[in-house]
Amino acid sequence: MPNKLKIGITMGDPNGIGPEVAIKAISDSSISELSNFILIGSEDVLKKANKEFGSNNSLNIIDPTNFAEKDLTPEVVSEKAGQASLDCIEKAVEMIMDKEIDAIVTAPISKESIHLAGSKYPGHTEMLQDLTESDNAIMLFEGGKFRVALMTIHVALSEVPKLITKERVYKYISICNSELKGKFGIPDPKIVVCGLNPHAGEAGAFGKEEIEEIIPAIDKAKGEGINVEGPLPADTLFYNALQGKWDLVISMYHDQGLIPFKMLLFDTGVNVTIGLPIIRTSPDHGTAFDIAWKGVANPSSMIEAIKVALKLA
């Protein structure tokens, strides 16, 4: 019988729901025997979470932090918690690059906390890109046959049009096509690209980005044999995507893609970072400070993130 895959799970921000959903997930009967789980986080915090929310079985913990139970301040943005979050991510990437683990599943971090700790990154995705020395990292949300990738992520809406260039759109289409084939096992991916403007610009009446940037990129990708169409208006595109017409939607900005996705799949959606030399997944929700350490956090998205990591690995 083949050896089980090793999945590294970071605890996320200790003051949020990360430790709880991580422990609840690996205690769940649907996945508890599927992998050798290595928890990367504060030993004190994870043992406390295990005692309160888990099966209280023995845990395999790697602790790269300087964070103890006495440092816990649930629901609070904290420099020390932010630093612990960063330490866990760095250790997880070090382990996977050294082939000590097969995939990373990250619990949610607080952007405010990591910024207090001095991080320059707006989130996991950008940090993982730098740590793996990758040229591109794309945020893709997996919901079975309903998948959404984001052309731009943590930037002001006013900055988005400047980032929608022929080069960027083509590059994202190409990477998504390659990753859907290689990691997701889809032989001939069907991809659709959202328009940036209402009605996908209405032939230039509501904006020129579709004509000047998006369409030339799509035409170039088509010329290389990629099965891609668009740009199509986002207000109707997502209905057809939900019916399974395409394998992936590429949205132009964060909320354009994530409002429909999270409305439908908030509890089970999974964030997958593609374009990296590693496998990384995470739940599609945040730290939920308001319910931290109260025993009510839903681990469904974390469970799905682990299942997707196992599938991709």
Mean pLDDT of 171-180: 97
Q: Are 170 and 269 in contact (CB under 8 A)?
A: no
pTM, to two decimals = 0.91
- Residue 206 confidence (pLDDT): 82
Instruction: Output the domain CATH number for residue 153.
Output: 3.40.718.10
170 and 56 share one domain: no
The burial class, CB within 10 Å (0-12 / 13-18 / 19+), for 296 is exposed
Per-residue pLDDT tens over the stretch 21-52: 999 999 998 888 888 999 999 999 999 999 99
| Cα distances (angstroms) measured from residue 2 to each of 35, 100, 181, 216 | 11, 16, 24, 47
Q: What's the rounded mean pLDDT across residues 278-286?
A: 94
pLDDT for residue 2: 55
The tally of domains found in the chain comes to: 2
- Of the chain, the percentage scoring pLDDT greater than 90 comes to 85
Which of 239, 256, 272 marks a domain boundary?
A: 272
Q: Is 20 exposed, middle or buried (0-12, 13-18, 19+ CB in 10 A)?
A: buried
Same domain, 59 and 181: no
Same domain, 216 and 189: yes
Shared-domain flag, residues 266 and 288: no
* Number of helices and strands in the chain (H, E): 12, 11
- Neighbouring residues of 225: CB distance < 8 A, sequence distance ≥ 6: none
CA 205 to the chain's CA centroid: 35
Element (H, E) at 150: strand 146-150
Each residue's pLDDT tens digit, 53-82: 998 778 999 999 999 999 999 999 999 999
Same domain, 126 and 211: no
Give which of 305, 253, 252, 255 is closest to 280, Cα–Cα. 305
25/3: higher pLDDT: 25
Q: Which domain holds residue 81?
A: 1-134+276-313
Question: Do 262 and 307 fall within a single domain?
Answer: no
213 plus 117 within the same structural domain: no
User: Does one domain contain both 45 and 116?
Assistant: yes
312 shares a domain with 203: no
CB 1 within 8 A of CB 277: no
Nearest residue to 302 via CA among 275, 254, 264, 270: 270
Same domain assignment for residues 5 and 130: yes
Helix (H) or strand (E) holding 272: strand 270-274
